[in-house]
């Protein structure tokens, strides 16, 4: 029997993650049954669970994948750009970041075991935000009267508030000026370059 190439395995894993993202976003964690995961991915349960031990592992891998993609955006453009992507429905990325983010937030509140597992993985976005802010401060673009830790927490709290706002179905089409205000609030007043 021929060995399956690593490229094929990677492509299959991506197919599973992309389908699962849609399924979890549409049905939530509990509603993402194995049958729905099969339909969303176009693969059998055997194929899905060959790559992921169980539904929990699949969801964690998906959340990690989205966090890694968000961290890439943060590194290049800042956390406010991630917020803009969420407002745009993730249109800059095929990922439905909002659906995953909402489900992560819900499970963090209601599932202590998930909270413990996620804590090990959740530093990626914070680290990327902190590094971006340090680079912006070194370039003279960031206010220097507030610590990087405080600015990181401020931006992350705003992100969580935005996710909650969107989860409640509140209007999002008028939030761009709010994001601009958040971005301006972390900049050095004389700077004209992008901050957080």
> Between 150 and 122, where is the model more confident?
150
| In the predicted structure, residue 22 carries a pLDDT above the cut 50 | yes
Please give the tally of structural domains in the chain: 1
Q: List the structure tokens of 3.
A: 């060995």
Is 1 within the bounds of a domain?
no
Question: pLDDT-based confidence at 95, cuts 50/70/90?
Answer: very low
Domain around 143: 55-186
- 51: part of which helix (H) or strand (E)? helix 45-51
Handedness of CA 59, 165, 151, 89 (dihedral sign): positive
| In the predicted structure, residue 92 carries a pLDDT above the cut 70 | no
Selection from 49, 50, 80 nearest residue 162 by Cα: 80
> Between 1 and 29, where is the model more confident?
29
Write down the pTM of the prediction. Answer: 0.78
Average pLDDT, the chain: 86
Supply the CATH number for residue 131's domain: 1.10.357.10
pLDDT of res. 107: 86
């Amino acid at each position: 029997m021929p060995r399956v190439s690593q490229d094929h395995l990677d492509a299959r894993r991506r197919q599973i993650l992309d389908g699962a993202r849609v399924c979890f976003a549409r049905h939530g964690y509990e509603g993402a049954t194995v049958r729905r995961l099969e339909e969303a991915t176009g693969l059998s349960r055997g194929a899905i669970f060959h790559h992921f031990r169980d539904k929990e592992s699949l969801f964690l891998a998906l959340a990690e994948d989205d966090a890694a993609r968000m961290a890439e955006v943060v590194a290049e453009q800042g956390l406010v750009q991630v917020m803009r992507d969420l407002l745009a429905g993730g249109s800059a990325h095929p990922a439905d970041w909002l659906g995953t983010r909402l489900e992560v937030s819900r499970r963090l509140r209601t599932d202590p075991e998930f909270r413990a597992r996620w804590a090990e993985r959740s530093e990626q976005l914070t680290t990327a935000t902190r590094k971006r802010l340090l680079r912006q401060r070194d370039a003279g673009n960031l206010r220097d009267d507030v610590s990087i830790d405080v600015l990181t927490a401020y931006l992350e709290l705003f992100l969580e508030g935005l996710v909650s706002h969107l989860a409640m179905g509140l209007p999002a089409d008028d939030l761009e000026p709010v994001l601009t205000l958040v971005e301006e609030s972390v900049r050095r007043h004389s700077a004209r370059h992008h901050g957080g």
